Structure 1
Amino acid sequence: MATGVLLPDYIFESSWEVCNKVGGIYTVLSTRAKTLQTVLKDRIIFIGPDVFKGDNPYFKEDEALFNDWKAQAQHDGLSVRIGRWMVPGEPVAVLVDFSKYYNDKNEIYTRLWELYGVDSLHAYGDYDEASMFSYAAAKVVESFYGYYLDDTKKVIYHGNEWMTGLGLLYINHKLPQVATLFTTHATSIGRSIAGNNKPLYDYLFAYNGDQMAGELNMQSKHSIEKQTAKYVDCFTTVSEITANECKELLDKPVDFVLPNGFENDFVPKGAQFTRKRKAARKRIFDVANALLGMEIDDENTLVVSTSGRYEFRNKGVDVYIEAMNRLLRDNRLKKNVIAFIEVPGWVGEPRQDLIDRLVSGRKYDTPLHVPMLTHWLHNMSHDNVLDMMKYLDMQNRKDDKVKLIFLPCYLNGEDGVFNMKYYDLVLGNDLCIYPSYYEPWGYTPLEAIAFKVPCITSDLAGFGLWVNSELGRYGEITDGVKVIHRTDYNYSEVADKIKDTVAEYSNFTPADVKKSRDNADKLSHKALWSNFIKYYYQAYDFALKKAEERKKTIK
């Protein structure tokens, strides 16, 4: 650490995804926790929403932790549970019940407007829920600070996403001696522009964020995000591509880019890795046989998949299906392909006919009805994946070299069909494909290569850009990551590039495959938190120096 760099004595970090697994932010915070816990030893305190009320699978209450303050917190009107986040490092977590603040919602929003010009008039959906949590989280920090700390301590309050904006502004106003840091993992308006099939990148310079927020009915989320970015001590995001988005749509350049790192503690090693990969492939082939009614030869079959949130265009699910359809007619394809789409849809129940076949342990030579779906959906006739497969006449026929299977549920080990967790299943893949149109970072490709699975991604993903910067050129599949150039308008070329890459990989010799897998593994090690945490220390230093200056004026 350079001389003169300020390090925090305490960090409070809040997010809707603390002890609440929803998406990628959970992975960011939960994997980074161990690194910060090693340095700060229970002086990194995560604050999350008490959404489970009772038993929370990610949280373990500890009555002894900060027990003296807990009585004060109750006196301050806070309802909190204090314990450990059950992730590596087991950092302190405070879960707060925010429901009581709904009664004060109008007064809270009015004050926010008066102090910071935040427009909450157009709030709907999750805006109120997120804001009341954010307010409660800030009250937790205020209470804890008042009980244990004073302005001799260097304290950071770090909020993630627009959902923590109200709390950051509350701390900015009430505790000016605390340094505030805000990370946007994706701008609400940028995601909305992309999700509404508007060209985001070519016209980014011409979009007015406020105007687009009005057009897309996003005024309140955009307003809290924009004003928080403006007033905090340090404004950050996760990649250069999103930094550009922030500058154009929020009218505020970021102070730092904080790339998302990874901990690979849970990646199996040696014989255990080989055993787990073998088990994953056996389960994949058993399910495929039961569904498709065909013999599958491990040696002559490639297993590929895409996964993530069900954002059909943003995550590139549409172009993935298009690529698999084109691959059906590519004569260079030397192996059969079983391609999965692992995105949670509006899932109904696991297919009983499929379960019955799996339980029997027999091999089948006739397909099930609808042989492209592992679980029934509530909206079978209005599902984007099934609609596109129907439009392209992708029926998983016996002679098709590419079979596409939709697995529309969370892989938590209890889905009823695979009954394996995502990390246990992904290492059975030969390739993972994430051709995102909108992807500020991209954990799924980083997770894939950590399990030695080469992947395909795009240069509209922060991770794809990082790979290119590490290599000094566009990544190829032999490097472990193929990075495809993607724009607003080259959908067809992207589909062809994916198709060509899979066909190329099917022709690899065992030595070529080993080289690609080894390179994927090596690249993943460069993205460990031990290499990326330095960017956080720079941001902490930047924010703390602003707070130190402010303290002089307060005194």
Structure 2
Amino acid sequence: MQPPASTPEIVAPDALLVEVAWEVCNQVGGIYTVIRSKVPATVQGWDERYCLIGPYFPQQAQGEFEAFDDYQLQLLNDPFAGAVRQMRQMGYDVCIGTWLITGRPRVVLINPFQAYGQLGQIKTDLWLRHGIPTPDNDDLLHQVEAFGHLVKIFMKVLTDEVVPPQRVIAHFHEWMTGVAIPDMRREQVPAHIVFTTHATLLGRYLAMNDPNFYDHLMQVDWAAEAVHFNIETAVRIERAAAHGSHVFTTVSELTVRECIYLLDRIPDCVLPNGLNIERFVALHEFQNLHKQYKDKIHEFVMAHFFQSYSFDLDKTIYMFTSGRYEYHNKGFDLTLEALARLNYRLQQSGLEGQVVMFFITKRPFTSINPLVLQSRAILDEVHETCNAIERQVGERLMYAAASSTDHRLPDLSAMVDDYWKLRYRRTLQSWKTSQLPSVITHNLIDDQKDDILNFLRRSNMINHQHDRVKIVYHPDFVSPTSPLFGMEYGQFVRGCHLGIFPSYYEPWGYTPLECVARGVPAITSDLSGFGDYVMQHVQDHDDKGIFVVQRQEKNFDEAAEELTNMLWDFVLLSRRERIAQRNRVESSSELFDWKNLRQYYDRAYELALERS
């Protein structure tokens, strides 16, 4: 299947588009990236006929949302502003303004807590009208249901503001906004409704707990399993939204099966996710950026490993994986098994070089490991001492060169003061140790039950000097404020050589796509939406540095061997070959730009207008 032919820049000129998502100006998870990155391309097609709706949480919105004041609001002459004015007259707390991102779209934020006084009636109506029960002690569900009630009211007011022949398309993302849909249909609100599930809620839970999830999918009793995992309310909301929408969509062919068996509706459209590639484009600079950020990673690696033993950084390859901590779903288990096999192969081969593998995820921890932090601090001290010696020697060498008639290089050590010699020696003595480098940078709250650590203990991959694959498990976000890395996640990705994401359950998968956008080769799987899309639409994807592990038809051992072979082949590449590969990866990133993939969304909107 090829992408649809290009569509005109102006889409459905007689329609308004309202996109409703829990993560508008509210960064919680992956949907935030989807919505935010898609905005520039959507604004290009819809311009001022486009508006987003999200929940108003002041702390989250701060720095992202700029509200219009009363005077600005009165000057606005469009249905969105008119609906906000009308709701304010009705006594509702509603803000309208601009999301401070590329494209600067119009945004309406609604405070869900203002409807808490009506929660009893809202919950009763959901049960009596739609069979959706709500427990009394779940505040997230209360927020979601209150927000859905208020969105329904806003959509009723907005559609009253619209003057025919203009129509309203309402696109809801995920179950957290789907509460509004069944009541909108019941009250016949004249909006054309699109609902997108990015990952069925029940599917994610089942995949985490069933190693044969895909084989058992057809036999799942959704109602019983929803009760079993204590997610019955959310699952019933998701089902009601799927069945109440005029057009039901999901993000990949893989999740179509989930929707059929867990939601009992065949999706009308598949809407693949993209990125705003312009944000990542570095043109001829991206190779220089790779070196710049690789040098920053070198600093971390020297601090972490060189106090125990050293190795040649020019012959070291940096690999990484990242994402939500779902040991099985994200393929951490498969990645570790392949790394253990790669470690053995490299030890037996006699080849030079090392692999340093980073696991970047989020886990509960008490603190950074004091020894890891101390090592980094002492190395910084070594660096400062070396810089001071370099400056001193440089000045004195220059003077000696200019004043001497002897053309031989003088004794450089004689140009260093005893103070700096002593400081250099003492700093190194306090830094060097016989202890092995830690495989984890932080102290976890319960490391005895951590699957990654337990695998490393069982396999004895604990950063011995003879290990050719070294492990750095970093259970926190990479950020510029981190005393260990001191860089942004995107910079860290650019500094690595390969991203590894062989997921078992991944409705789409942004992490490999973000690698590709930065010119970094990536491994994905045919059980991720992104990998499935690559196999269908990207010819010679291996040659372009996008590798897909076959997991649908292979057992764990076979998939691990295939991944090991991919890693082995990558390690065997010369530096020149890796540079050429990064060039090919970067040039293919345009395939995943929202400017191209937005067309799938516009087709769904046209279908919604036709159906209702």
Q: Is the 1:285–1:296 contact (alpha carbons within 8 Å) kept by the matching residues of 2?
A: no
Corresponding residue for residue 286 of structure 2: 273
Corresponding residue for residue 109 of structure 2: 95
1: CA distance, partners of 2:163 / 2:188: 10
Alignment of 1:341 onto 2:359: yes
Corresponding residue for residue 552 of structure 1: none
Matches within 5 A, 1:309-324: 309-324=324-339
Per the alignment, do residues 142 and 176 of structure 1 end up closer, same or farther by CA in structure 2, a change over 3 Å counting? closer
Bigger Cα displacement from structure 2, 408-417 vs 228-237 = 408-417
- Number of aligned pairs? 544
1: CA distance, partners of 2:96 / 2:560: 49
1: CA distance, partners of 2:544 / 2:519: 11
Corresponding residue for residue 118 of structure 2: 104
Per the alignment, do residues 58 and 320 of structure 1 end up closer, same or farther by CA in structure 2, a change over 3 Å counting? farther
Out of 202, 206, 213, the position equivalent to 1:189 is: 202
Per the alignment, do residues 137 and 253 of structure 1 end up closer, same or farther by CA in structure 2, a change over 3 Å counting? same
1: CA distance, partners of 2:155 / 2:488: 35
SS of 2:279 mapped into structure 1: coil
SS of 2:609 mapped into structure 1: helix
Corresponding residue for residue 84 of structure 1: 98
Shift of 1:183: 0.3
Matches within 5 A, 1:175-214: 176-214=189-227
Per the alignment, do residues 286 and 450 of structure 1 end up closer, same or farther by CA in structure 2, a change over 3 Å counting? same
2: CA distance, partners of 1:8 / 1:249: 36
Q: Is the 1:123–1:220 contact (alpha carbons within 8 Å) kept by the matching residues of 2?
A: no
Q: Deviations over 1:252-278 (max 9, x none)?
A: 000100000111122242454234322
1: CA distance, partners of 2:584 / 2:135: 52
Q: Is the 2:152–2:184 contact (alpha carbons within 8 Å) kept by the matching residues of 1?
A: yes
Alignment of 1:402 onto 2:420: no
Shift of 1:407: 1.4
Q: Is the 1:45–1:92 contact (alpha carbons within 8 Å) kept by the matching residues of 2?
A: yes
Q: Deviations over 1:279-322 (max 9, x none)?
A: 21112111111112243534311100001111111111122122
Alignment of 1:240 onto 2:307: no
1: CA distance, partners of 2:194 / 2:72: 26
| 2:88 alignment partner AA | Q
Q: Is the 1:7–1:540 contact (alpha carbons within 8 Å) kept by the matching residues of 2?
A: no
2: CA distance, partners of 1:198 / 1:127: 29
Alignment of 1:425 onto 2:492: yes
1: CA distance, partners of 2:211 / 2:142: 27
Corresponding residue for residue 34 of structure 1: 40
Q: Is the 1:292–1:368 contact (alpha carbons within 8 Å) kept by the matching residues of 2?
A: no
Corresponding residue for residue 342 of structure 2: 327
Q: Deviations over 1:520-542 (max 9, x none)?
A: 22332111112111111111011
Bigger Cα displacement from structure 2, 529-538 vs 127-136 = 127-136
TM-score normalized by the length of structure 1: 0.91
Out of 11, 24, 42, the position equivalent to 2:17 is: 11
Q: Deviations over 1:200-219 (max 9, x none)?
A: 11122222322322333322
SS of 2:496 mapped into structure 1: coil
2: CA distance, partners of 1:267 / 1:346: 31
Matches within 5 A, 1:375-390: 375-390=442-457
Corresponding residue for residue 588 of structure 2: 523
2: CA distance, partners of 1:99 / 1:145: 24
Corresponding residue for residue 550 of structure 1: none
Per the alignment, do residues 25 and 326 of structure 1 end up closer, same or farther by CA in structure 2, a change over 3 Å counting? same
SS of 1:310 mapped into structure 2: coil
Bigger Cα displacement from structure 2, 300-309 vs 370-379 = 370-379
Per the alignment, do residues 91 and 212 of structure 1 end up closer, same or farther by CA in structure 2, a change over 3 Å counting? same
2: CA distance, partners of 1:506 / 1:65: 59
Per the alignment, do residues 340 and 212 of structure 1 end up closer, same or farther by CA in structure 2, a change over 3 Å counting? same
Per the alignment, do residues 382 and 203 of structure 1 end up closer, same or farther by CA in structure 2, a change over 3 Å counting? closer
Corresponding residue for residue 249 of structure 1: 262
1: CA distance, partners of 2:157 / 2:170: 13
Corresponding residue for residue 147 of structure 2: 133
Shift of 1:446: 0.7
TM-score normalized by the length of structure 2: 0.83
Q: Is the 2:246–2:611 contact (alpha carbons within 8 Å) kept by the matching residues of 1?
A: yes
Corresponding residue for residue 551 of structure 1: none
Per the alignment, do residues 54 and 493 of structure 1 end up closer, same or farther by CA in structure 2, a change over 3 Å counting? closer
Corresponding residue for residue 388 of structure 2: none
SS of 2:230 mapped into structure 1: coil
SS of 2:362 mapped into structure 1: coil
Q: Is the 1:480–1:518 contact (alpha carbons within 8 Å) kept by the matching residues of 2?
A: no
Per the alignment, do residues 417 and 139 of structure 1 end up closer, same or farther by CA in structure 2, a change over 3 Å counting? farther
Per the alignment, do residues 225 and 153 of structure 1 end up closer, same or farther by CA in structure 2, a change over 3 Å counting? same
Alignment of 1:494 onto 2:567: no
2: CA distance, partners of 1:508 / 1:177: 59
| 1:14 alignment partner AA | V
| 1:37 alignment partner AA | V
SS of 1:460 mapped into structure 2: coil
| 2:52 alignment partner AA | F
Per the alignment, do residues 487 and 378 of structure 1 end up closer, same or farther by CA in structure 2, a change over 3 Å counting? same
Per the alignment, do residues 503 and 38 of structure 1 end up closer, same or farther by CA in structure 2, a change over 3 Å counting? same
Per the alignment, do residues 463 and 82 of structure 1 end up closer, same or farther by CA in structure 2, a change over 3 Å counting? same
Alignment of 1:221 onto 2:234: yes
1: CA distance, partners of 2:170 / 2:164: 14
Bigger Cα displacement from structure 2, 336-345 vs 500-509 = 500-509
2: CA distance, partners of 1:48 / 1:419: 32
Corresponding residue for residue 44 of structure 1: 50
Alignment of 1:443 onto 2:449: no
Corresponding residue for residue 260 of structure 1: 273
Q: Is the 1:116–1:227 contact (alpha carbons within 8 Å) kept by the matching residues of 2?
A: yes
| 1:498 alignment partner AA | L
Q: Is the 1:195–1:314 contact (alpha carbons within 8 Å) kept by the matching residues of 2?
A: yes
Per the alignment, do residues 98 and 310 of structure 1 end up closer, same or farther by CA in structure 2, a change over 3 Å counting? same
Per the alignment, do residues 315 and 367 of structure 1 end up closer, same or farther by CA in structure 2, a change over 3 Å counting? farther
1: CA distance, partners of 2:276 / 2:158: 30
Out of 458, 462, 466, the position equivalent to 1:391 is: 458
Per the alignment, do residues 138 and 536 of structure 1 end up closer, same or farther by CA in structure 2, a change over 3 Å counting? same
Identity of aligned residues (%): 30
1: CA distance, partners of 2:148 / 2:186: 14
SS of 1:159 mapped into structure 2: strand
Out of 460, 482, 485, the position equivalent to 2:550 is: 485
2: CA distance, partners of 1:268 / 1:296: 33
Corresponding residue for residue 507 of structure 1: 572
SS of 1:518 mapped into structure 2: helix
Q: Is the 1:81–1:96 contact (alpha carbons within 8 Å) kept by the matching residues of 2?
A: yes
Q: Is the 1:11–1:155 contact (alpha carbons within 8 Å) kept by the matching residues of 2?
A: yes
Unaligned 5+ residue runs, structure 1? 548-555
Q: Note the aligned Cα RMSD (angstroms).
A: 2.6
| 1:233 alignment partner AA | H
Q: Deviations over 1:478-535 (max 9, x none)?
A: 3311111114972222222222211111111344323432332233211111211111
Bigger Cα displacement from structure 2, 244-253 vs 278-287 = 278-287
Alignment of 1:545 onto 2:610: yes
Bigger Cα displacement from structure 2, 383-392 vs 153-162 = 383-392
Corresponding residue for residue 418 of structure 2: none
Corresponding residue for residue 413 of structure 1: 480
Bigger Cα displacement from structure 2, 21-30 vs 208-217 = 208-217
Per the alignment, do residues 21 and 488 of structure 1 end up closer, same or farther by CA in structure 2, a change over 3 Å counting? farther
Per the alignment, do residues 468 and 44 of structure 1 end up closer, same or farther by CA in structure 2, a change over 3 Å counting? same
Per the alignment, do residues 391 and 251 of structure 1 end up closer, same or farther by CA in structure 2, a change over 3 Å counting? same
2: CA distance, partners of 1:395 / 1:50: 46
Corresponding residue for residue 380 of structure 2: 359
2: CA distance, partners of 1:410 / 1:44: 33
1: CA distance, partners of 2:22 / 2:216: 31
Out of 108, 117, 139, the position equivalent to 2:131 is: 117
